[in-house]
């Protein structure tokens, strides 16, 4: 049984025999040309967004970071944006599990707008500018659906979708497993680092 050996290394057995070619990084546009990058790299390099505006991306980063610390640097906005640009059948977003009705970009845009409007009304500032402590009561009211005002998709659904996106990047990657000392034990190595 494998328990605490080198967490970021596959065990030297059948698992490694099943490695696939590492393809599947997201295609981002940097400097006018396409590049295959991870979401974190895309963020660092300022890759162009396909579906979200710069303001929406900044808001998604702020919300994702408030939900799961580390999500901003992990590239949540670019991760979500790249998946929104894919056909639904190729999307890797949890929204796919949550029966979010298409188009999914409208779901994210409407949810972000509702969150920002609620923040401006309740906290007197755009969500991206409020502190984690100040935002906490607002966010806490999302899962039970008691947040007001709210004009967007069901707040619990939007909360769960973005929280899951953030958790994917912060806790679901090979690097995250290694950080948490959880053995990854891939049968087939996933593309990129997740």
Partner 1 sequence: MAAQLSPKRTDAVIVGAGAAGNLFAAALAEAGKSVLVLDPGPAWQARDLYSSSIWARRLRWGGPVVESTGGHAFGAGFNMGWGTGGAALHHYGTWPRLMPSDFTMRSDFGKGLDWPIGYDDLRPFYDRIQEEVGVSGDADAEVWRPAGAPYPLPPLQQFAQARLLAKGFHALGMKTAPSPMAILSQDYKGRPACLYDGWCDAGCPTGALANPLVTYHPRAVKAGARFVNGAHVTQLIPGKTARAAAGVEYIDHTGTVQTALADMVILAASTVSNPAILLNSTGGAWTSGAGNSSGLVGRYFMTHSIASVYGFFDGEETENYMGVTGAQATNMDHYGKQSLGSDAFGSLQWQLAPTMKPNDLLGVAMARADLFGAELTAFMERAVHHLAVMFGFGEGLPVLENRIELSDRSGPGGTRTPRVVHTFAPESVKLSENAAQLGLKIIKAGGAAEPWAGPMASAHMMGGTIMGRDARTSITDSFGRSHDIDNLVIAGPGLFPTAGAMNPNFTNHALALRSAEHLVAQWLS
Residues found near partner 1 in the complex (CB under 8 A): 1, 3, 13-15, 18, 20, 24, 66-69, 87-94, 96-102, 132, 136, 139-140, 143, 160, 163-164, 167-168, 171-172, 176-177, 180-191, 194
Q: How far is the CB of 154 from partner 1 (least distance, A)?
A: 10
Q: How far is the CB of 185 from partner 1 (least distance, A)?
A: 4
Q: How many angstroms separate the CA atoms of 114 and 126, rounded?
A: 11
The torsion of the CA quartet 165, 171, 175, 179, rounded to 10 degrees, works out to 150
Q: Using an 8 Å Cβ cutoff, are 26 and 39 in contact?
A: yes
Q: How many angstroms separate the CA atoms of 148 and 10, rounded?
A: 48
Closer residue to partner 1 in complex, CB, 126/190: 190
Closer residue to partner 1 in complex, CB, 20/44: 20
Beta strand 33-37 pairing with 26-30: antiparallel
Closer residue to partner 1 in complex, CB, 29/94: 94
Q: How far is the CB of 119 from partner 1 (least distance, A)?
A: 15
Local structure of residue 189 (DSSP, 8 states): P
Q: How far is the CB of 194 from partner 1 (least distance, A)?
A: 5
Closer residue to partner 1 in complex, CB, 73/98: 98
Q: How many angstroms separate the CA atoms of 122 and 148, rounded?
A: 8
Closer residue to partner 1 in complex, CB, 17/54: 17
Q: How far is the CB of 84 from partner 1 (least distance, A)?
A: 14
Helices of type H across the chain: 14-17, 39-44, 54-67, 71-74, 76-84, 104-122, 132-140, 155-171, 174-179
């Amino acid at each position: 049984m494998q328990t605490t050996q080198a967490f970021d290394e596959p065990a030297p057995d059948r698992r490694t025999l099943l490695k696939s070619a590492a393809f599947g990084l997201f295609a981002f546009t940097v400097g006018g040309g396409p590049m295959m990058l991870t979401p974190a790299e895309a963020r660092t390099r300022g890759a162009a967004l396909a579906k979200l505006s710069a303001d929406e991306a900044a808001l998604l980063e702020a919300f994702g970071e408030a939900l799961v610390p580390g999500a901003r640097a992990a590239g949540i906005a670019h991760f979500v944006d790249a998946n929104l640009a894919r056909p639904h059948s190729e999307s890797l977003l949890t929204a796919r599990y949550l029966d979010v009705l298409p188009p999914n970009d409208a779901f994210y845009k409407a949810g972000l707008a509702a969150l920002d409007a609620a923040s401006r009304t309740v906290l007197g500032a755009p969500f991206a500018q409020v502190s984690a402590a100040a935002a906490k009561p607002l966010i806490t009211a999302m899962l039970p659906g008691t947040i007001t005002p709210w004009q967007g998709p069901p707040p619990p659904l939007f909360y769960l979708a973005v929280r899951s996106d953030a958790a994917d990047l912060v806790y679901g990657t090979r690097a995250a497993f290694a950080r948490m000392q959880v053995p990854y034990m891939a049968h087939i190595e996933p593309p990129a680092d997740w």
